[in-house]
Structure formats: structure tokens, C-alpha cells
């Protein structure tokens, strides 16, 4: 049985990702170029940048052919600084 290693990614910018929209079911594969508190921007293979609300997508972070982690978008709401607080500070609310 293979042990799964838990990966904690704080900043998503620069990672290759597959984003699946929950409402329409469309899948976009590209590189994450911007991230705000509530949205994520993906540059697709045709060069266009598409912006998605984090709470309405499922995000698969990829490295090469391997999937590093899969997140429901609502789990990564907030800025990278807020996610660090949730990981390392006792007083932060866990999600």
C-alpha cells in the first residue's frame, strides 16, 4: 500500500493546474497566473486568461504528469498569507 504524503501549498501562482467549473462542468488546463482572495486566474494553452471564483471550482494542481493535490475551491479561499495563518497559528480557525 502506497503512503500518501500530505502536501501544503501556500501560493498557487506558477503551478500547472486543471480547473473544473462546478456549475458548467467545463475543464480548463493551464498555468495559474494570478490569485486573489476569492478568484483564481488561469492562462490556457491558447494564451487567453480566464478568471474563476474559487468557491465554484475544483482545482487539481499538477507537476509534469503527476497530480500533486486536488482541492475543492472553497478550501483555498483567502490570500496566501491567510492560508499560512490557518496552517501555523493556533488561534486561526481551521477549515
- For residue 14, what is the enclosing H or E element? none
Of 9-13, 35-39, 88-92, least confident by mean pLDDT is 88-92
> What pTM was computed for the model?
0.73
pLDDT tens by residue, 44-82: 999 999 999 988 898 888 887 777 777 787 778 888 778
Over 38-94, what HEC string results?
CEEEEEECCCCEEEEEHHHEEEEEEECCEEEEEEEHHHHCCCHHHHHHHHHCCCCCC
pLDDT mean across residues, the chain = 80
What residues contact residue 3 under an 8 Å CB cut-off, 6+ apart? Answer: none
Amino acid at each position: 500500500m502506497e503512503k500518501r504524503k500530505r502536501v501544503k501549498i501556500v501560493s498557487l501562482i506558477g503551478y500547472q493546474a486543471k480547473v473544473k467549473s462546478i456549475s458548467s462542468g467545463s475543464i480548463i488546463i493551464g498555468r495559474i497566473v494570478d490569485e486573489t482572495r476569492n478568484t483564481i486566474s488561469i492562462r490556457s494553452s491558447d494564451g487567453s486568461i480566464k478568471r474563476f471564483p474559487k468557491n465554484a471550482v475544483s482545482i487539481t494542481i499538477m507537476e509534469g504528469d503527476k497530480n500533486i493535490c486536488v482541492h475543492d475551491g472553497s478550501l483555498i479561499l483567502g490570500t496566501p498569507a491567510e492560508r499560512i495563518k490557518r496552517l501555523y497559528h493556533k488561534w486561526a480557525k481551521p477549515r
